[in-house]
């Protein structure tokens, strides 16, 4: 086993920013808006670095697909402890239509190229909330998947994953190579330390084009319109329980 | 008509901040979490943005939630500061070979500015601690650096800077604490006042008189807690800076080994002043962080509070006021960062820039925080709202590390009395 882990990190609008829709309803305003690493990707990086510290894996490679600015996100991953980075350059129109299908094709190609033992991703991105990339990547590679992981432990060539599911917690054992997606309670990402930020400067980020990986970026989806959620309507006050039941029947809720 | 020009500029800036256009457009209270025109990451390198991000995250997660409690209960947050030290904040501009992070003065300013948004008082103490660690690193011999710096950088041990005395504040060079040489020890007698961290810290960097009168008779000694003859006064009750204890430090026939002296005899005053140059940038940076946080708090309040049928954000006077506050914040930030760069490069104007930055920035930022409090109305006066703590905490930044002397210093350098610019003044700024 190569002992190499690929971690996908996505550059998204910072979680603290209030999103605004563009006046032409074509999308969300991203120019001049603060961006940072997707919080679930931070958790994924932390898990990979933890596995390396426990000496269960040998190398952590941070991957990001996007324009030039994605390199900042990779640098953050390097500052947290990743060993090197791969920046898959996607910009302009291609970047606007980049979705889980395209990213999973890229990750699958990279996983084969880098001979990865594990791919760890965040369970979903906070901008599109797709929750598809991990699952699609596993399918394309025909690898087992441990999604919504809240606990990960390695047992030889197998991985034990405790998954957060609707009914509670499910524990599965899967063979490597595998794809894992990180859920919120998997760990608490560390702060990058000042020395690590400086060391990160020296770590390498390789530049790759999707064409080099033989990936076709055409999207099968077209975004027609983006709207804000409807304004919250005022509620109604009723006097008695009978009135309440009547109102519920009237509005068809019961 | 001409007068409308500047007014409309201010109005546009105010609108930008209050998102007035957007409010009309969207008809609901959508707003950015981070106001772009006062974003402190403009003009920084990628690496500096990373440092700043870590500091902001640390401030938001580890400090801001406890800021009020530390103030009200007067808690010295040792564990939190040690966590900060693990990230490298214990000796930011100390050399890496003795455990520091080896960063520049500008990097340091950016970090303290960000940390200060979480808790001014704690950040100010961390900056004092950093100043002491740097003094030992720069002026100590290798044995002293290796003995003290690693523990200070990890905050295993905490440090205090002791210059001010009951009888000598601005007139620091007239200090009286004596250090008489007896064999291989100095015997210290005297007392220091207003010492930040005093009583709770482990390492005291003390300026004392080994020679004759004036600055040339002063030396710098490192005194460790537990040395017989070292005691402390009562903990002072302060208006702000309550997360750090302030006490008098008393020496009664306190014997300190000669091997604890930093630099040569008579070099102490010079060491103290050099430490303060950086200390002033740090304190000014702490003021910047408080002002930044206060502007955001004021902006948020204006967007929420309604009077006369609309939100305060639609009030033109308040828009102008907020725009002025933002402008002064950015102007202050630029001055501090330029002073930091000058100090790093040992430029000829470094000392005067540091003094000017400290003078200007601490005043302007206090005014900004005060304005922000005013904009909160009655709520600003309640301890439930953070803005009053920023006001109380940064008020002292206008006092310590020297003040009226700056007009003196700058006016003298204007008359080209260059000798005075190099810290050989009989009257000198103080901690």
What CATH number is attached to the domain comprising B102? 1.10.540.10
Is the pLDDT at B377 greater than 90? The verdict is yes
Q: How many folded domains does chain B comprise?
A: 3
Q: Tell me, what's the pLDDT at B108? A: 97
Q: B364 versus A248: which is more confidently predicted?
A: B364
The fold of the A4-251 domain, in CATH, is: Rossmann fold (3.40.50)
Alpha helices in B27-163 (DSSP H): 46-58, 67-73, 78-84, 105-116, 120-139, 142-153
Whether residues B53 and B151 fall in one domain: yes
Is there a cis peptide before residue A177, judged by omega within 30 degrees of 0?
yes
Domain final residue, candidates B221, B239, B266: B266
Q: Which residue of chain B is at minimal alpha-carbon distance from A195?
A: B101
Q: In this predicted structure, which of A31-45, A230-244, B226-240, B398-412 has the lowest mean pLDDT?
A: B398-412
| pLDDT band, very low/low/confident/very high, at B4 (cuts 50, 70, 90) | very low
Residues 44-63 of B with CB under 8 A from A: 46-47, 49-51, 53-54, 57-58
Q: Which residues of B are catalytic?
A: 401
Q: Which of B34, B51, B92 sits opposite A16 (nearest CB)?
A: B34
Q: Which residue of chain A is at minimal alpha-carbon distance from B102?
A: A195
| pLDDT band, very low/low/confident/very high, at B428 (cuts 50, 70, 90) | very low
Contacts of A81 in chain B (CB under 8 A): none
What is the secondary structure of B20-55 as a DSSP string?
HHHHHHH-S----SS-GGG-TTTT--HHHHHHHHHH
Chain position carrying tokens 């008098």 = B248
Q: A197 and B51 in contact by Cβ < 8 A?
A: yes
CA-angle at B243, arms to B239 and B246, nearest 5°: 70
CB A231 within 8 A of CB B28: yes
What is the secondary structure of A151-180 as a DSSP string?
EEEEETTEEEEEEEETTEEEEEEEESSEEE
Rounded to an integer, what distance in angstroms lies between the CA atom of residue A155 and that of residue A160? 7
Q: Which of A14, A32, A75 sits opposite B46 (nearest CB)?
A: A75
Kindly state the average pLDDT of the residues B382-389.
96
**What are the tokens at B60?**
């938001």
Q: Indicate if ipTM > 0.90.
A: no
CA distance B30 to chain A (A): 7
Pick among B45, B88, B114 to test the A interface (most A CBs inside 10 A): B88
Q: A194 and B33 in contact by Cβ < 8 A?
A: no
Alpha helices in chain A (DSSP H): 39-53, 70-80, 93-96, 100-114, 133-141, 194-202, 241-250
Q: Tell me, what's the pLDDT at B30? A: 26
As to burial, measured by CB atoms within 10 angstroms (0-12 exposed, 13-18 middle, 19+ buried), residue B33 is middle
Q: A194 and B101 in contact by Cβ < 8 A?
A: yes
Domain final residue, candidates B223, B251, B266: B266
Q: B31 and A18 in contact by Cβ < 8 A?
A: yes
Q: B410 versus A234: which is more confidently predicted?
A: A234
Dump pLDDT digits (tens) for A26-52: 999 998 888 999 999 999 999 999 999
Kindly state the average pLDDT of the residues B260-289.
94
Q: Tell me, what's the pLDDT at B410? A: 55
| pLDDT band, very low/low/confident/very high, at A254 (cuts 50, 70, 90) | confident
CB-based contact, B34 to chain A, within 8 Å:
yes
Contacts of B303 in chain A (CB under 8 A): none
Pick among B16, B53, B102, B117 to test the A interface (most A CBs inside 10 A): B53
Domain final residue, candidates B236, B266, B296: B266
Dump pLDDT digits (tens) for B137-163: 999 999 999 999 999 999 999 999 999
Is the pLDDT at B27 greater than 60? The verdict is no
Dump pLDDT digits (tens) for B30-68: 232 346 789 999 999 989 999 999 999 999 999 999 999
Is the pLDDT at B5 greater than 60? The verdict is no
Rounded to an integer, what distance in angstroms lies between the CA atom of residue A109 and that of residue A106? 5
Contacts of B90 in chain A (CB under 8 A): none
Contacts of A126 in chain B (CB under 8 A): none
Q: Tell me, what's the pLDDT at B18? A: 44
Q: In this predicted structure, which of A116-130, B168-182, B294-308, B410-424 has the lowest mean pLDDT?
A: B410-424
Whether residues B169 and B202 fall in one domain: yes
Whether residues B146 and B164 fall in one domain: no
Tell me which residue range forms the domain holding B68: 46-157
**What are the tokens at B147?**
């003995």
Q: B49 and A36 in contact by Cβ < 8 A?
A: no
| pLDDT band, very low/low/confident/very high, at B2 (cuts 50, 70, 90) | very low
Q: Does residue B27 fall inside a structural domain?
A: no
Contacts of B50 in chain A (CB under 8 A): 75-76, 79, 192, 197, 200
Contacts of A79 in chain B (CB under 8 A): 50
- Global pTM value: 0.85
pLDDT, averaged across chain A: 93
Whether residues B114 and B182 fall in one domain: no
Kindly state the average pLDDT of the residues B73-91.
96
% chain B with pLDDT above 70: 85
Whether residues B296 and B402 fall in one domain: yes
Q: Which residue of chain A is at minimal alpha-carbon distance from B32?
A: A18
Q: Which of B46, B54, B96 sits opposite A191 (nearest CB)?
A: B54
Whether residues B259 and B290 fall in one domain: no
Q: Does residue B24 fall inside a structural domain?
A: no
Q: Tell me, what's the pLDDT at A67? A: 95
Q: Tell me, what's the pLDDT at B9? A: 54
Whether residues B237 and B283 fall in one domain: no
Q: B32 and A36 in contact by Cβ < 8 A?
A: no
Q: A20 and B30 in contact by Cβ < 8 A?
A: yes
Q: Does residue B10 fall inside a structural domain?
A: no
Q: Tell me, what's the pLDDT at B3? A: 46
Torsion of CA B6, B7, B8, B14, to 10 degrees: 110
What CATH number is attached to the domain comprising B226? 2.40.110.10
CB-based contact, B96 to chain A, within 8 Å:
yes
Q: B22 and A20 in contact by Cβ < 8 A?
A: yes
CA-nearest of B94, B122, B119, B97 to B108 is B94
Q: B96 and A195 in contact by Cβ < 8 A?
A: yes
CB B51 within 8 A of CB A194: yes
Q: A198 and B47 in contact by Cβ < 8 A?
A: yes
pLDDT, averaged across chain B: 88
Give the CA distances from residue A88 to residues A14, A104, B16, B248, in Å, rounded to whole numbers and listed in that order: 21, 12, 36, 60
Q: Does residue B326 fall inside a structural domain?
A: yes
Dump pLDDT digits (tens) for A78-128: 999 999 999 999 998 899 999 999 999 999 999 999 999 999 999 999 999
């Amino acid at each position: 086993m190569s002992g190499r882990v690929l971690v996908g990190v996505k550059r998204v609008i910072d979680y603290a920013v209030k999103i605004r829709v563009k006046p032409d309803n074509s999308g969300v305003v991203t120019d001049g808006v603060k961006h940072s690493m997707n919080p679930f990707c931070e958790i994924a990086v932390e898990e990979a670095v933890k596995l390396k510290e426990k000496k269960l894996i040998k190398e952590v490679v941070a991957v990001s697909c996007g324009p030039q600015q994605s390199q900042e996100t990779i640098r953050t991953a390097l500052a947290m402890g990743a060993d090197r980075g791969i920046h898959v350059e996607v910009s302009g129109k291609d970047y606007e239509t980049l979705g889980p299908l395209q990213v999973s094709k890229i990750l699958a190609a990279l996983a084969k190229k880098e001979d990865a033992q594990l791919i760890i991703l965040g369970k979903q991105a906070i901008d599109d909330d797709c929750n598809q990339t991990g699952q699609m990547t596993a399918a394309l590679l025909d690898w087992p998947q441990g999604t919504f992981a809240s606990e990960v432990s390695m047992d030889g060539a197998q991985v034990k994953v405790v998954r957060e599911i609707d009914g509670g917690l499910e524990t599965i054992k899967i063979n490597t190579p595998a794809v894992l997606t990180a859920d919120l309670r998997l760990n608490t990402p560390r702060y990058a330390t000042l020395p690590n930020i400086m060391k990160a400067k020296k770590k390498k980020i390789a530049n790759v084009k999707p064409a080099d990986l033989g990936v076709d970026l055409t999207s099968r989806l077209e975004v027609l319109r983006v709207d804000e959620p409807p304004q919250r309507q005022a509620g109604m006050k009723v006097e008695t329980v009978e009135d309440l039941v009547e109102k519920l029947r009237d509005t068809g809720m019961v | 008509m001409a007068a409308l020009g500047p007014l409309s500029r201010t109005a546009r800036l105010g609108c930008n901040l209050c998102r007035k256009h957007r409010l009309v457009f969207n008809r609901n209270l959508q707003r950015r979490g981070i106001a772009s025109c006062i974003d402190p990451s403009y003009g920084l390198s990628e690496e500096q943005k990373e440092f700043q991000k870590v500091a902001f995250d640390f401030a938001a997660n580890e400090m801001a939630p406890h800021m009020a409690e530390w103030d009200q209960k007067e808690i010295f947050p040792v564990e939190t500061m040690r966590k900060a030290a693990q990230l490298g904040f214990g000796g930011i501009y100390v050399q890496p070979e003795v455990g520091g992070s080896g960063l520049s003065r500008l990097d340091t300013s950016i970090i303290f500015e960000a940390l200060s948004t979480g808790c001014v008082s704690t950040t100010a103490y961390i900056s004092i601690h950093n100043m002491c660690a740097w003094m030992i690193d720069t002026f100590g011999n290798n044995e002293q650096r290796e003995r003290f710096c690693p523990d200070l950088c990890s905050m295993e041990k905490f440090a205090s800077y002791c210059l001010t005395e009951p009888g000598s504040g601005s007139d620091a060079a007239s200090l009286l604490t004596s250090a008489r040489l007896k064999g291989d020890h100095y015997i210290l007698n005297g007392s220091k006042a207003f010492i930040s961290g005093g009583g709770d810290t482990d390492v005291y960097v003390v300026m004392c008189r080994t020679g004759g009168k004036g600055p040339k008779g002063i030396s710098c000694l490192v005194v460790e807690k537990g040395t017989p003859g070292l005691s402390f006064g009562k903990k002072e009750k302060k208006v702000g800076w309550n997360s750090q204890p302030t006490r008098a430090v008393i020496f009664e026939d306190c014997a300190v080994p000669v091997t604890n002296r930093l630099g040569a005899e008579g070099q102490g005053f010079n060491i103290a002043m050099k430490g303060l140059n950086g200390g002033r940038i740090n304190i000014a940076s702490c003021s910047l962080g408080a002002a930044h946080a206060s502007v955001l708090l004021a902006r948020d309040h204006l967007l929420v509070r309604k009077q006369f049928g609309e939100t305060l954000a639609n009030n033109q006077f308040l828009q102008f006021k907020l725009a002025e506050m933002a402008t002064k914040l950015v102007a202050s930030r630029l001055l501090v960062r330029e002073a930091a760069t000058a100090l790093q490069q040992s430029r000829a104007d470094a000392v005067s820039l540091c003094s000017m930055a400290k003078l200007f920035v601490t005043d302007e930022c206090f005014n900004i925080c005060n304005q922000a409090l005013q904009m909160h109305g009655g709520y600003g006066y309640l301890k439930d709202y953070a803005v009053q703590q920023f006001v109380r905490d940064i008020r002292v930044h206008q006092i310590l590390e020297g003040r009226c002397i700056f007009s003196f210093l700058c006016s003298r350098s204007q008359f080209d009395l260059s000798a005075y610019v190099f810290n050989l003044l009989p009257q000198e700024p103080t901690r």
